[in-house]
Amino acid sequence: MSHAVPTLDLAFRLDLGSFTLEPELTSHSRRVALFGPSGSGKSLTLEVITGLARPDSGAVKVLGTTLFDSGSGRNLSPQRRRLGYVPQQFHLFPHMTASENVRYGLRDAGRDAAARVGELLEVVDLAGLASRYPRELSGGQQQRVAFARALAGDPHLLLLDEPFSALDEVVRAQLRHYLAETLERIGTPTVLVTHDLVEATMLADTLVVMRRGRVVQVGGGEELLLRPADAEVAELVGMSNCLSGTVTAVEGDSMTVAWEGHELRAPAAGHASGTRVTLGIRPENVLLPPLGSSEVGLVHAHITRTLQEGLSLRITLTTAKGTALEMLLSERIYRRYQLQPGQELAVRLEPHYLWPLGGSGG
């Protein structure tokens, strides 16, 4: 899993006046996703890696090669960085056919250029559309041409900027799978920029959460979804429930938190007994006890709102003290439990899914 040299080693600063980009990141993962809200500096970070944007200071290293270093004055031109950049809007050359676009990406067009272009179009499943112009291709096909063009230069690293944002939802779902498989097959290390959690978890092993120009958390998908670094990351990854309580006891690596008359158990996070703490839990992990069971320690609340989300229902519960609690249920479960708006309900908050969200203050 771990390689000797990091895939990405970034520590730079780029001041744009109203916005400062200063990410610090060392990742050995071969599939990295820069994840965060728009305006967090993800795409700009990618442009710094390509050499199209130049930092004020710091260093950019990819797979052991120093691309930029303000200390030594080194700054490789975009031409010499050998990276496969696929921009957000693909930016195919409109006056060239699909195969000409791919051919343009070759670093040396020797005698076997035609064969190589054919191979690459094969890789992206577009062999039949080689002579089409970009305007005659669908969004998904354009993306695959841009991908093949980036691969043509035998890049050390692939950089994909929001690869699906220009596509509609149906195509997007198909292409995600396709791209995940293709990336695995060709094995070139990849850095992906996205604000979509599904994309990030499907196409990357390591997610780098960025916010206001900084890296705020680095981890796997599950880690991020269940153990976000703070309340803002929690919101970003859909951990929408925040319960404010008081620590009553700390035993080893777990603690007890008093919340609205309940004793909740959660992992300890350095909070002293008697301090306030916020616990997060995902709506997916607010659970219903088995029908007909008589569990104790359940949280009682009534259904105040239900929203349909495909075949799932996002249900807002309100506790006796007026705290809102979201849960996500399949329609099937909703029917089986014969739930309806206004009804009172008992739910389980398991220690395993509760996670303290940073700041021990109040």
Partner 1 sequence: MPARLRPRLLHRRGTPYVQLAAMAVMLVLLVLPILTLLARAASPALLSNLLHPAAVDALRLSIVTTLISMALTLLLGTPVAYLLARHRFPGMRWLDALLDLPIVLPPVVAGVSLLLVFGRRGLLGGALDHVGIHLPFTTAAVVMAQLFVASPYYIRTVKGGFGAVPRRLEAVSWTLGKSEALTFWRVTLPLVMPYLIEGLVLAWARALGEFGATIVFAGSLQGRTRTMPLAIYTALERDLGSALALSAVLAVTAFALLLAFRFVLSVRDASE
Which one, of 280, 200, 278, lies nearest residue 241 by Cα? 280
- Cα–Cα distance between 71 and 58 in angstroms, integer? 7
CB of 271 to partner 1, least distance (A): 48
**Using CB under 8 A, which of 7, 27, 40, 50 touches partner 1?**
50
- Cα–Cα distance between 299 and 292 in angstroms, integer? 16
Which one, of 190, 180, 97, 104, lies nearest residue 149 by Cα? 104
- Cα–Cα distance between 26 and 74 in angstroms, integer? 20
Residue number, 83 or 209, with CB nearest to partner 1: 83
CB of 152 to partner 1, least distance (A): 8
Q: Is 87 in the site for partner 1 (CB under 8 A)?
A: yes
Residue number, 101 or 278, with CB nearest to partner 1: 101
Q: Is 83 in the site for partner 1 (CB under 8 A)?
A: yes
Stretch in the footprint of partner 1 (CB under 8 A) among 91-99, 224-232, 246-254, 265-273: 91-99
CB of 105 to partner 1, least distance (A): 5
**Using CB under 8 A, which of 135, 270, 296, 338 touches partner 1?**
135
- State residue 344 phi and psi, 5-degree precision: -85, 150
Q: Is 262 in the site for partner 1 (CB under 8 A)?
A: no
What is the β-pairing status of strands 262-267 and 254-259?
Answer: antiparallel
C-beta atoms surrounding 340 within 10 Å: 9
Q: Are 335 and 312 in contact (CB under 8 A)?
A: no
Each residue 53-82 as x (binds partner 1 by CB under 8 A) or -, in order, gives ------------------------xxxxxx
Q: Is 45 in the site for partner 1 (CB under 8 A)?
A: no
Which one, of 41, 6, 35, lies nearest residue 237 by Cα? 35
Q: Which position has the token pair 């499943």?
A: 125
CB of 47 to partner 1, least distance (A): 8
Residues that bind partner 1 (CB under 8 A): 50-52, 77-85, 87, 89, 91, 93-95, 104-105, 107, 133, 135, 149-150, 152-153
